[in-house]
Chain A
Amino acid sequence: MTLNDKIYKWLDDRFKLSELLPPIVKHPAPLNVVSNPLYCLGGTAFLCFLILVITGIFLAMYYKPTPAEAYKSVEHIMTAVPMGSLIRSVHHWAANTMIAAVMLHMMRIYFMGAYKKPRELNWVVGISLLLITTTFGFSGYLLPWDQLAFWATKIGTGIAGSIPVIGGYISLILVGGNDIGAETLTRFFAIHVMILPIAIATLLGLHFMMVRIQGISGRL
């Protein structure tokens, strides 16, 4: 018995690996999923999300969400922290790629009619994921606290604020006062690193569970 066998047996005795693994390991991936790269888009979005979580955690170790410190801390990340510039830039590119992948994924679902019965609710969950993903982008945009961040957020919250009926509340909740300032920055930070990650993790769980229960549409 090799060491590998021993470890396997030890785990098997406790977790019934020999029952759990074969269905995962042995079963073929359907040919249309294997041969059509359009089916990769959801997975690409998910991979980007994982990269964002990892790089985001590193950024959060150096970032300081106050008007006095935010810009300086990002500058510090870009110039002084080892690999800091790479980590922030990968975060930036993974974010943009994720949004592009989510949009293309949605277009594949739409044009292939993959939202039809029984997958209606997964489409609804998908649209919520799209909203969350773009809100991630919007809230992250303010954090560096540079000219672009400040003014784009000012205009963005202004537009959201002029939505009839609910706009006033949205802008009050987002801005936390009359003008973009310290309150806004801490709010956007909390939204970006706490609220949205929890929301997206929950919805991704639902999304993947539904795909698992219902299967990929249009299989042979």
Chain B
Amino acid sequence: MALIEVEKHEVEEEQKPEPVRVRGLPFFPHFLLREVVVMCLIAGGLIMLASIYPAGLLKPADPFDTPSPIYPEWYFLYVFGFLKFWTWDLGPIPAKMIGVTVPMVLWYGLLILVPFIDRNPSSDIRKRKVAVTLGVIVLIGILYFTYFSIVHH
């Protein structure tokens, strides 16, 4: 990641007639050293976690014996949560269809369109009240549905 950031920097400077001096950390050796230290810390952390909490393995799969409870990976829990939460038919649309469409199709559709929906050019957080508020609401929503899926098992 360091390479990308720094190389780009060069490209931009070349376009200007006089290179602007940007205050920063020289890439070599200081920044690189820091990157390597951070990478070692992360790798070390993973090895530690792996030794303390090894990956599990339950009984072999048995199509005739449904275990309970069945949890998906944690990052899919909110989908299950929403599916359980939403029990209302909307006119001709059955509740279950809404329950699967909203957290997957609609959610990813909206996510992809974010830069095209938010036309506010400012990246100052104080001038982006709507986007930030919506972001926080969605975040709380996802956390809530995750919680819901665990509690209402």
Contact = CB atoms under 8 A, between A and B. Distances in A.
B42 to A, nearest CB: 6
A89 B54 CA distance: 5
Contacts of B38: 40
A180 B63 contact: yes
Contact of A119 (B4, B65, B115, B121): B115
A175 interface: no
Chain A CB within 10 Å, residue with most, of B9, B10, B11: B9
B27 A156 contact: no
Interface in A146-173: 146-152, 155-156, 159-160, 162-164, 167
Interface stretch (A1-9, A10-18, A21-29, A193-201): A21-29
A148 B55 contact: no
A85 B5 contact: no
Contacts of B39: 47
A124 B67 contact: no
Interface of A: 23-31, 33-34, 40, 42-44, 46-48, 51, 67, 71, 74-75, 78, 85-86, 88-94, 96-97, 99, 103, 107, 110-117, 119-120, 123-124, 127, 130-131, 134, 137-138, 141, 144-152, 155-156, 159-160, 162-164, 167, 179-180, 208, 211-220
A111 B114 CA distance: 12
Interface of B: 1-13, 22-28, 31, 34-35, 38-39, 42-43, 46-47, 49-51, 53-63, 65-67, 70-76, 79-80, 83, 96-97, 100-101, 104-105, 108, 111-112, 114-116, 118, 120-125, 128, 131-132, 135, 139
B72 A152 contact: yes
Contact of B114 (A29, A42, A115): A115
Contacts, number: 234
* B interface, over-half SS: helix
A167 B105 CA distance: 11
B43 A51 contact: yes
Contacts of A116: 115, 118, 120-121, 123
A115 B112 CA distance: 11
A67 B62 CA distance: 10
Contacts of B125: 111-113
A123 B115 contact: yes
A149 to B, nearest CB: 6
Given A28-B22, A29-B5, 6 more contacts: A48-B46, A134-B76, A147-B65, A159-B104, A211-B4, A218-B123
A69 B134 CA distance: 48
A99 B77 CA distance: 14
* A interface, over-half SS: helix
A30 B5 CA distance: 8
B73 A33 contact: no
Contacts of B101: 163-164
Contact of B46 (A30, A94, A163): A94
Q: What are the nearest 4 A-B pairs in CB distance?
A: A28-B24, A43-B1, A113-B123, A89-B50
A212 B61 contact: no
A24 B61 contact: no
Given A89-B50, A113-B122, A217-B123, A23 B7 contact: yes
Contacts of B121: 116-117
A30 B9 contact: yes
15 contacts: A27-B13, A29-B6, A86-B51, A89-B55, A113-B123, A113-B124, A119-B115, A141-B73, A155-B72, A162-B97, A162-B100, A163-B105, A208-B4, A215-B5, A216-B8
